[in-house]
Each structure stands twice: as C-alpha cells, then as structure tokens.
Amino acid sequence: MDTAVTKTGTEGKIWGGGNQPLKASYGKMMMWFFILSDALTFSGFLAAYGFSRFKFIDSWPIADEVFNHFPFLHGVDAPMYYVALMTFILIFSSVTMVLAVDAGHHMKKNKVIIYMFWTIIGGLIFVGSQAWEWKNFIKGEYGAVETKGGQILQFVDKDGHRVALDEIAIPITDVREQHQDKNGIWYDSENTLPTYTVNEVKAGFVKNTDLLIRTQQLTETGEKTVLSREESLRRLNTDAVGIVEGANLIHNEYGTPLFANFFFFITGFHGFHVFSGVIINIIIFINVILGTYERRKNYEMVEKVGLYWHFVDLVWVFVFTFFYLV
Amino acid sequence: MAHDTAHHESNNKRIWNVFIILSVITIVEVILGIIKPAFLVETYLVSMKLLNWIFIILTIWKAYYITWAFMHMEGETKGLRRSVVWTAIFLICYLIFILLTEGDYIYEVFKSGYKSWDF
C-alpha cells in the first residue's frame, strides 16, 4: 500500500499523516464506512417495510403460509425450514471466510485458497436458493380472487384448509381471448390471462357448498378471518373482479401487493449484494492463487472482502427476522 | 499492517465457538417460530408480542457476534468502533421510531372509518 502513495516528506509529522489515530489502513477504514452507509440503506428498506406493516397491522400476510416450500417435498407444509437452511449456509460461509482471513494473517496461502473456495460455494448455493424461493413466490400455490378494492379473497374448505382454484373452477365455454398487440389499438396488448375466469370460479363455488372464503383480516389470535357461507357468497358475487395466481409487483395472491413489493425489493437487493460479494470473492480468490498477496507479504485484501462478506451475512440475519419470523 | 501479523495468534477456537453460538440462536429462533408458544404470542409488551421482542433481541445478539467476532470489531480502536457503530445505532433507532409511529397513525386513520378500503 505504501508504494501507491506519493511520499511527501512529512510522514513523521501529525498533520502530514504521521500518525494513524484509528490504526487502520485507508482501504479497511473506507470499507467500514461503506458498510455503514450500506447498512443505513438496508435499514431504510426494512424500516419502510415496518411502516407498511404497521399500517396494515391487522391484515398483513402470514409468512409461515407464504414460504412453506422445501425442495423435493411437494405439497408438504414446511414453514421456515428452507429459509433456516439458507441462513445456516450463509453463516457457515461467513465462518469459512473468517477462517480464510485468519489463515491470511499467518500467511498460509493454501489454507486461504481452500477456505475462500468454500466461501464462494456457500455464496452460490445461497443465491441459487434465493432464486428458488422467488420462483415459488412468483408461481403461487392456491390462487385467489381479487376484489374491486384490491383485497384478496382466498378459499378454504370447512376444516380451514386452503383450496386451490383448479379444484374449484368449473370450465365454462365462453372463451375470453387475450388481447394481443395485433388487434385493436396498435401495439397495445394485455398481460397473460389467468387460467380461470371469475365466472368459472363463482360457478364452482356455488356448486360446492363446503367452500368458504377467507379474507385478509387477521383475528385476535392472528389467524385469517373465515367468512360464513352466506357472507362468502355475497362477497364473491358483489366484489370479485379478477383472478390472481402467484405474485408480481401489482397483484399478489398472498395478500397486499406491498408485501410482494417489499419481498422482491429487499431480498432482491440483498441477493444482489450476495451476488456481487461472490464476484468480488472470486476476483480475490484468483489473486490469492496467483500469489499476489504472497508477493505483497500481506493478505489485507482478503480481510477487506471478508468485511463485505460478513456484512452480507449480517443483513441477512435481519431480513430473516423481519420477513420470516416476526 | 505489520503490527497485525506480528502478534496474531490463531483465532480458530473463538471462530468455532461463535459459529456454535450463532447456530444455536438460529435454531432457537426457528423452533420458537414453528411452535409459537401461546404464552409468548398472547403477552404484549409495548404494543408488540413478547415473541417478536425475543426474535428482535436474539437478532441483535447475533448481529453483535457477527460484527465483533467475524468482522473483528473488537480488535479495532475505540474511535473507529464508535464512529461506525454509534452512528448506525442512533440513525436506525431514529428512523424506526419515526416510521413506525407514522405507520401506526395511518392504521388508526384507516380503522376509524374515514376511509373505506375493504370492498
């Protein structure tokens, strides 16, 4: 590092940079302050999430019902197991990173290589898991009906178990065609149509007298309110205007669209950090293999990317709590 | 930094200890999140469920270990530590206080019927 700085001849003097009150190199200190500003960005997102959640405190989606998938266990209700596994993977990759930093302090090149390799693998598994989590969230599971006011109505049987739209809907032959940009107003098309129409779902609901509607409202005990049969029929006939399958930034079958927006934004921003962390780790990994730091007689670069990597883990700890637990 | 490499003993034992602590905290969080003990869900403290308070405290505890042990904040000088940690804690507490108060106010406005939204 010294070689990159022009000597001024005033190094010995206090105002010439002679002492280092924080006893940290420029790069490491700036990494800390970058992390501080990045932490404040994430706090902004999470506090905004808290704001929206307090605003809809008695109608917010229940995370356990939304994130309940586990690989190879189709249809099994496994709340949080997968995200707990992801947390472990990230914590473990943090451990291997700190082991790499430690090995760097002792100038053990081969150990640094091994530990950084495992860190990168852990990071890649985590990003992949997040992609899988997004896929499940976007695809949706049961589907729901949206009302005029943008509220979500979900279907349950008399035991309170969720019922999917394809178990309810009765096919009706009046075909609603998707408006494509070759018809009507030029270059103006609509989004993909849902699998069923509101009328098909209504017809099926009327026929199957066991079905009830569940609203977004939470009860005293923190469960979703289930309407009576009459009230369910009334809501469906007067309010229902559309079908929602899965979630995007505008419609969300799990509840308020804000939930989906924050999910995509916060986990997306975090996932982007993990991704860039992996890229930076790979660059440093290659440098370690090439022996750059061996020649520099100093592995501080590993320490700096380590700080960033731990920060990514630190943020995930908070995202995990506020999105999945609280 | 020369002074770093000179007297750096291996931290392996501490690293694995911290890993065990973090794992145990996470496991406790997940177990509590799955069984949701009735007592903790029903008891409220400062308008939040006791269970949620426990989650938040455990999270801050984890954050402390990650920052102090993994990011090695414990080894930095007081000046660096305070300029990073205190700045973050002050600003975050302020932001959370402002936004949650405002969110709760809007909830009350919605609820007391000046605005119809459930239709």
ipTM of the modeled complex: 0.89
pLDDT value of residue A18: 64
Q: Contact A47/B92, CB-based, under 8 Å? A: yes
Residue range B76-105: mean pLDDT, rounded: 94
Annotated domain spans of chain A: 24-140+258-325, 144-173+192-245
A:114-143 residues touching chain B, CB 8 A cutoff:
none
Inter-chain contacts counted by CB atoms under 8 A, chains A and B:
163
Q: pLDDT (tens digit, 9 = 90+) per residue, A160-172?
A: 889 998 888 888 8
Q: Are residues B71 and B114 in the same domain?
A: no
Q: Are residues B32 and B71 in the same domain?
A: yes
Residue A107 contacts B, CB cutoff 8 Å: yes
Q: Contact A55/B107, CB-based, under 8 Å? A: yes
Chain A residues in contact with B33 by the CB 8 A cut-off are 64, 79-80, 324-325
Q: Contact A57/B56, CB-based, under 8 Å? A: no
Cβ atoms of B37 and A84 within 8 Å: the answer is: no
pLDDT of A5 strictly over 60? no
Residue range A110-137: mean pLDDT, rounded: 96
Q: Within 10 Å of residue B88's Cβ, how many Cβ atoms? A: 17
Q: Are residues B32 and B9 in the same domain?
A: yes
Q: Are residues B17 and B62 in the same domain?
A: yes
Q: Are residues B95 and B59 in the same domain?
A: no
Q: Are residues B48 and B69 in the same domain?
A: yes
Q: pLDDT (tens digit, 9 = 90+) per residue, A102-115?
A: 999 999 999 999 99
Q: Tell me the C-alpha to C-alpha distance, in Å, between residue A40 and each of A11, A35, A116, A308.
A: 35, 9, 28, 15
Minimal CA separation from A189 to chain B, in Å: 28
Six token digits for residue A4 = 């990159």
Domain that includes residue B83, residue range: 77-119
Please report which confidence band the pLDDT of residue A3 belongs to, taking 50, 70 and 90 as the band edges.
low
Residue range A63-69: mean pLDDT, rounded: 87
Please report which confidence band the pLDDT of residue A174 belongs to, taking 50, 70 and 90 as the band edges.
low
Lowest mean pLDDT among A36-45, A61-70, B71-80: A61-70
Q: Are residues B32 and B85 in the same domain?
A: no
Task: Determine how β-strand A224-226 pairs with β-strand A240-244.
Answer: unpaired
pLDDT of A197 strictly over 80? yes
pLDDT value of residue B46: 82
Please give the residue that has the higher pLDDT: either B30 or B41. Answer: B30
Please tell us whether the domain made up of A24-140+258-325 is placed in CATH 3.40.50.1000. Answer: no
pLDDT value of residue B25: 95
